[in-house]
Structure 1
Amino acid sequence: MIGVLNPAAMRAATALLTRAPKALTANKAPAQVTNRSLPDLPRPLPSVLSQRHGTPGFGRQDTMTRINNRTGLAATSAPRTGPACNAEPLLHDAAPASPAAELLHTARALYAEVVLAYEAGKKSGNKSAGTADEARRYDALQQLANMQAQAREQGPSMWVYLSEAIPAGNCDELAKSVVVRALQQGVDSGLLYLGDRRGEQTVFDHVAALVAPDHVTLEQLPATLTFDESAWQNVLIVDPWAELVCAPSEYITRYADTMDAWDAQGMQLMNLRGDLVRPTDPSVNIGNHEKTFDRAGTAELKAAVKDHRNGWRSRFIEKQWKIGS
C-alpha cells in the first residue's frame, strides 16, 4: 500500500497519470483554492468528550449508524468495559464505565471524525472499485501528490491543516489526521509503522494511529510481529484506511477480515510497485511485517501541532499557500 508516496510509488502514480484516459485529463485544469476561501484556522474540532455521548452537532445519527454498520459494530447502546475491537456504537447517552471504555470511546470518536472528513474528499488513491472508479482515483492521486509536495515545501505543520480538510488520503494521511486530532484534544497519540525493507528497497509499508491512556508511554512500545508483548495491551489502534478501531492483539486478524471483505466486493488495491492487486495479495497484507512505534514521525506531528497553536495559521495565510481541490 501507499503510505507516504515514496519514490517507487511516486513513479507508479506518475505512470498512471501519464497513461490516464484522455477523458480523464482533457480540459482538466486542477482547481485552486486560495487563502480567500480557506476555512478559519485553527477551527475548533468536534469535541470527542461531548460528541461521543450523543451531544447534537457531531453528525446525524444515520451517519453514525452507517459507520457502525460498515465496521461491523453491534446495535446495542450498552457500553463495554474492555478494549475490544469495533464492539459498540459511536454515540452513547451515558459516560464510559471505566478508563478502558473511555479510551475506546475516544478512539472510535476520532475514527468517526476522520472518516466523515475523508469521505467528503477524493478518498484514497490506492483503492479501486473498478473501471467506473478510476476517474475518482486519478483525482485522488493528483491530490495526494500535491499534498506531499506542499508538505515538503511548507514543513510538517502543513499536515495540521491537511488533517482537518483531508482532501484525499491513503493510510499515511488518515493516520496522521487521527494523531493530529487526538493531540489537539489532549489525547496521547502516535504513528504505528508496519514495514518491510529488502536491502535498499521498501517492499511493504502501512501506517495506522495509536491512542494511549495517560499511564502509557508510547516511546516504550517494543518492535513486534504479533503484538503479544504486554506493553501493547493498554493501547488501541485506529486505522481509518482499513476501517478498524481495535486492540493490537486483534489487529492482524481484523485487518485480514477487512481484506477478505474487500476482496468479496471486487475491490483492488495498489501496491508499492504500482500494480492493482486483490486485497488478499501478499504484497498488500500486513502479515509478519515488523510493527514499530514511529518515533520520528510522531515527534514531527507533535511539534507541528505545537507550532500550529503558536501562530502557524498567520504565516500560512501570509505566504498564500494554495491547496488543490
Structure 2
Amino acid sequence: MRQLLLLALVGLGAQLVDGSLGMAYGVTSTTLLLAIGANPAAASATVHLAEIGTTLASGLAHWRFGNVDWKVVAKIGIPGAVGAFAGATFLSSLSTEVAEPVMSVLLLALGVYILVRFTTFGLPRHNLGKPLRKRFLGPLGLVAGFVDATGGGGWGPVGTPAILASGRLEPRKTIGSIDTAEFLVAVAASLGFLFGLGGVGVNFSWVLALLIGGVIAAPIAAWLVRHIPPRVLGSAVGGIIVVTNVRTLLKSDWIDASDGVRYPVYVAVYVIWAAALAYSIRQYRANRAQETVEAIAAEAAGKGDKTEATT
C-alpha cells in the first residue's frame, strides 16, 4: 500500500512538472520504476499505459486554458505515434540485461540535456509567430516518439526544447500542444508494448497509481504553466534524472564501480546540480528585475510623450 501511495505521489509530481514544463513525466516516472526493480520494457509500458489517461486529462485542461495549437498537434502527433510504436516493439525485443543499462544511458542523456538546456539558455523567444512547417515537425515527432518509447520518456525533452528553440510558438502553447499530442504517442507506445510483451511484467496497480496522481495534477499544471518559472523547474528536474541514472549505471553490470569510485562521483554530481540550480534561480531573478526596470522605463517614456503632446 505504501508503494502504491508513493507511486501516486510520483505520478502527481511528475505530471505537475510535465504539465508546466512540457516534459519529464515519462523520464521521471520510468527512472523511479527502474529504481524499485521493474524491468525496462515493463517500466516503459507501465508509464505509457498511465500516460493514456494523464495526457488525455492534461490535453483537455490545456485546451480549456487556451494553451493548444491544434495544427501543431496534428503535424507532430501522428509521426510521433509511428515512432513510438516502432520504439516500443524494439525495446520489447531486448533482454532485461541489455535493456536496463541502455535505458539508463538514454535517461541520463535526456537528464543532462534538460539540465544544461534550461540552466544555460532558459526559454528562447525569438521568431515568435512564424509558422511551424510539417517538414520540421514530422521528423521531430518521429524521432521524439521513438526515443520516448525506448527510453521510457523523451517525448517532451526532445519535442518541447526543439519547438521552443525555433522561437515560433509561445511557450505556453508549445507546452500545451506537446502535452496534447503525447496522448497519441502514449496510445501507440502502449499498443506496441502490449503487442511485444503481451502484458507480461506490467503491474496494472502501478499503472492505476500513476494514473490517479497524474489526473489529479493535470488541471493544476495547466493553470500553473503561466506562473512556474520553467528555467528553475527544468534545472531541478534535469538534476534529479541525472543523479538517479548515474547511480543506476555505476551499479550496473556494465560498470560495477566500487564504493571508492561511486561516492566521489555522487558528490561531484550533487555539487554540479546544486550549482546549476542556484545559477538558474539567480538568472531568473535577474531577468525579472531587468523586465521590471524596462517596464518602468517604458511607462515613464510613455508619460513623457503624453506630456509633450499636451503642451
Same fold (TM over 0.5): no
TM-score when normalising by structure 2: 0.33
Structure number with greater CO (CA < 8 Å, separation at least 6) is: 2
Q: Which has the larger radius of gyration?
A: 2
Greater fraction strand: 1
TM-score when normalising by structure 1: 0.32
Greater fraction helix: 2
